[in-house]
């Protein structure tokens, strides 16, 4: 820290990303990436001609990408805003829809970045504990004077809130924004996107990082009413108008248009997930019911931290969170079937089951 | 605007980027892009194998890119922070080094985004008028209790402040940060980078957008003391840790390492600039002394707005700013030699010189 840093900033508690080892030595099941490469159409779209055009600024409106997303979800382009990763979209929402008179509210166990953004924008959050079984009960949020941030499926549990419950939240107070973070929705969960027809206080955030195999392109998007999207644009154009590079715009469009590839990949991950759940349960694990591309699991036979460390020693990276209530668990990304077979064999060996 | 938007945000005055026409019909001299494609080594670096790796997150530390930048400028990696465009670097600096007790200070005529970031972070700026001849006199800043933002060369004038003068500013108050925005430094101006050895209150910001032909990759970087860079990292990791995508990291590294190509391109632009200045002066223009890849010029024969509009009708885009003191001028990017010849012929025709 320098002597120049503003006091308010010195109090920030930055997010710790999962390990990103640079040597590719590991079976990487720690940051919820896809085991599949991007659609071949993505790889083709970034051709030599397009790479040479990098001398020119990207389109700040991202029109081609916005149109592709709007078409895929049956929305108008005015209802779509891409971001430099869904993290950027979420950071903008904290700025646009929260202040001293209405802070953010989110679960005690959820995406770890919510609390970081709250600090970044100097907001006072309301933290609502998940129930004992890690379920999120919307009754706990019903009367909060706050902008609600709900990861659905939740991270790192993988568990879902029924869309019907989110509808109740939206209907309860139409002057309150509900941000539904659907980073993991494409692996079998129900999306809130259809509710956009009824509710202008709904903001849905999705990402290309998981189900569309583009974590390295940094691309997410917000969906909402034209007015709400216009608010987010006000932040974007006050922060970094050219926030998405030329190649990621092209990649996103190609990925969004290749529905077959998307279905094949997300289907395969769901099948592998089912296999992995069964295998881990046979080894005595408790596995939370996941609709995402990861599992949150624990066993009485080994502490979470120990399991994480021992797997790492054996060349498999999973994620462990040193946090109350979930210290016993590890989060395991659903990778390729053969990777999960290696994981299960390694765990079995470790626990001497 | 939605009814949900926080009052403080509704007061933001977002930046207006230059026109980015999507149809490529224009000779585009309005957003200071390079007329040259990126280095062939950049185009090669983004090969098929790397495009397939987009399924994986980028390295949040951007190590390969940081190392290449550090090596090029004779610094340590701890002195370098890449950003999603230099705009992001600058936005972070406003957050890290300004607050109620020490606001930002900048010129009345300079990069138009400074005032936008001041509003975004709810800061009270000190706006210091340039002198009558558009020069920036450091005496006007010497005793300001503020974090200083100095574009050098300045935009949209193209004029420089001597590095010796910046040194005086740095030495005057070693507890005050001076941010020198060197977006346009590579076209013949002197850089403040050597002063980093002496001053830990200096932050230099540069970009790949202009001199390295990568506007579309969105890549800039900050240089400073390890402590100051660590402060900026605190903001980055509280906002968007994976802020740079995989391909831009690769592109930036390849561009930074191709020194010959960089020298060839920036040399050609300087030669074309000299030719263009002479030609415009022959047509009766006043051209401010530019060390950048653009010219700021005016003529008594035609108002700035009219010149902008008439050039646009004839297929040439330049930039006009509807702002006090500079309403008579247009800003003209130095493009390829043949584009500038077309510009000069068109202007000559328009003005019937």
CATH of A7-37+260-351, one of 3.40.50.1100, 3.40.50.2300, 1.20.1530.20, 3.90.1150.10: 3.90.1150.10
A175 neighbourhood in chain B, CB within 8 Å: 3-4
Query: Is B282 in the A-facing interface, judged by CB distances under 8 Å?
Result: no
**For residues B158, B159, B162 and B167, what is the CA-based torsion angle, rounded to 10 degrees?**
-70
Best probe of the A interface among B4, B42, B214, by most A CBs < 10 A, is: B4
Q: Which of B57, B76, B59 is nearest to B67 (CA)?
A: B76
What pLDDT was estimated at residue B325?
Answer: 96
**Residues 101-130 in B contacting A (C-alpha not used; CB under 8 Å):** 102, 116-117, 119-120
Tens-digit pLDDT profile for residues A219-241: 999 999 999 999 999 999 999 99
Residues of chain A with pLDDT > 90, as a percent, come to: 94
Judge whether residue B21 has pLDDT over 90: no
Judge whether residue B19 has pLDDT over 70: yes
| Distance between first and last Cα of chain A | 48
Closest Cβ–Cβ partner in A57, A177, A248 for B245: A248
Looking at the DSSP assignment, which residues form a beta bridge with residue A179? A149, A203
Average pLDDT over residues A237-261: 98
A99 neighbourhood in chain B, CB within 8 Å: 6-8
What pLDDT was estimated at residue A24?
Answer: 67
* Best-predicted range by mean pLDDT (A8-12, A13-17, B177-181): B177-181
Q: Indicate the pLDDT class of residue A10, thresholds 50, 70 and 90.
A: confident
* Topology of domain B10-37+260-348, CATH: 3.90.1150
Q: Where are the domains of chain A?
A: 7-37+260-351, 40-258
Q: What is the pTM of this model?
A: 0.96
**Residues 261-280 in A contacting B (C-alpha not used; CB under 8 Å):** none
Tens-digit pLDDT profile for residues A73-106: 999 999 999 999 999 999 999 999 999 999 999 9
Neighbouring residues of B192: CB distance < 8 A, sequence distance ≥ 6:
B152, B163, B166, B180, B182, B202, B204
Average pLDDT over residues A148-168: 98
Average pLDDT over residues A162-176: 98
Query: Is A231 in the B-facing interface, judged by CB distances under 8 Å?
Result: yes
What pLDDT was estimated at residue B241?
Answer: 96
Tens-digit pLDDT profile for residues B273-308: 999 999 999 999 999 999 999 999 999 999 999 999
Average pLDDT over residues A167-173: 98
Best probe of the A interface among B92, B216, B232, B268, by most A CBs < 10 A, is: B216
Using CA atoms, how far residue A30 sits from A211, A225, A279, B4, B61, in Å, is: 16, 34, 19, 36, 17
What pLDDT was estimated at residue A108?
Answer: 98
Dihedral pair phi/psi, residue A102, rounded to 5°: -150, 95
Retrieve residue B2's tokens.
């939605």
Please, what is the average pLDDT of chain B? 96
Question: Which of left, alpha, beta for B104 (phi over 0: left; psi -120 to 50: alpha)?
Answer: beta
- Are residues B5 and A231 in contact, defined by beta-carbon separation less than 8 angstroms? yes
Retrieve residue A327's tokens.
């210290």
What pLDDT was estimated at residue B18?
Answer: 86
What pLDDT was estimated at residue B24?
Answer: 67
Closest Cβ–Cβ partner in B56, B201, B213 for A33: B56
Judge whether residue A22 has pLDDT over 80: no
Q: Do A57 and B216 touch (CB under 8 A)?
A: yes
Tens-digit pLDDT profile for residues A297-317: 999 999 999 999 999 999 999
* CATH annotation of B40-258: 3.40.640.10
- Are residues A283 and A351 in contact, defined by beta-carbon separation less than 8 angstroms? yes
**What's the CA gap between A319 and B57, in Å, rounded?**
15
Judge whether residue A274 has pLDDT over 90: yes
How many of the other CB atoms lie within 10 Å of CB of B312? Answer: 16
Tens-digit pLDDT profile for residues B134-145: 999 999 999 999
Average pLDDT over residues B242-253: 98
Tens-digit pLDDT profile for residues B315-337: 999 999 999 999 999 999 999 99
């Amino acid at each position: 820290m320098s002597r120049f840093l503003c006091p308010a900033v010195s109090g920030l508690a930055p997010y710790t990303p999962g390990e990103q080892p640079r040597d590719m030595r590991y079976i990487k099941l720690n940051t919820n990436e896809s085991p599949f490469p991007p659609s071949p159409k993505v790889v083709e779209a970034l051709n030599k001609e397009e790479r040479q055009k990098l001398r020119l600024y990207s389109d700040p409106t991202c029109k081609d990408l916005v149109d592709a997303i709007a078409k895929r979800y049956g929305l108008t382009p005015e209802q779509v805003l891409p971001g430099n990763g869904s993290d950027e979209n979420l950071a903008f929402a904290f700025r646009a829809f929260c202040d001293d008179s209405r802070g953010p509210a989110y679960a005690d166990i959820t995406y770890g970045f919510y609390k970081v953004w709250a600090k970044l924008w100097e907001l006072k959050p309301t933290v609502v504990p998940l129930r004992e079984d890690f379920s999120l009960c919307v009754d706990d949020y019903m009367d909060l004077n706050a902008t609600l941030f709900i990861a659905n499926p939740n991270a790192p549990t993988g568990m879902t809130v029924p869309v019907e419950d989110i509808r109740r939240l939206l209907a309860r107070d139409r002057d309150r924004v509900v941000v539904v973070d659907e980073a993991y929705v494409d692996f079998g969960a129900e999306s809130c996107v259809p509710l956009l027809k009824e509710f202008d206080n709904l903001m849905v955030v999705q990402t290309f990082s998981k189900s569309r195999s583009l974590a390295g392109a940094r691309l997410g998007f917000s969906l909402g009413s034209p007015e709400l999207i216009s608010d987010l644009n006000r932040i974007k154009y006050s922060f970094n108008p050219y926030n998405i590079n030329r190649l990621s715009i092209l990649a996103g469009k190609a990925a969004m248009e290749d529905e077959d590839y998307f279905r094949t990949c997300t289907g395969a991950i769901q099948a592998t997930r089912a296999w992995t759940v069964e295998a881990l349960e046979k080894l005595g694990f408790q596995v939370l019911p996941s609709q995402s591309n990861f599992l949150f699991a624990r066993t009485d036979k080994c502490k979470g931290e120990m399991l994480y460390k021992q797997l790492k020693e054996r060349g498999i990276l999973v994620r462990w969170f040193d946090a109350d209530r979930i210290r016993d668990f590890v989060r395991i990304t659903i990778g390729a079937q053969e990777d999960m077979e290696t994981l299960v064999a390694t765990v079995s060996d470790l626990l001497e089951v």
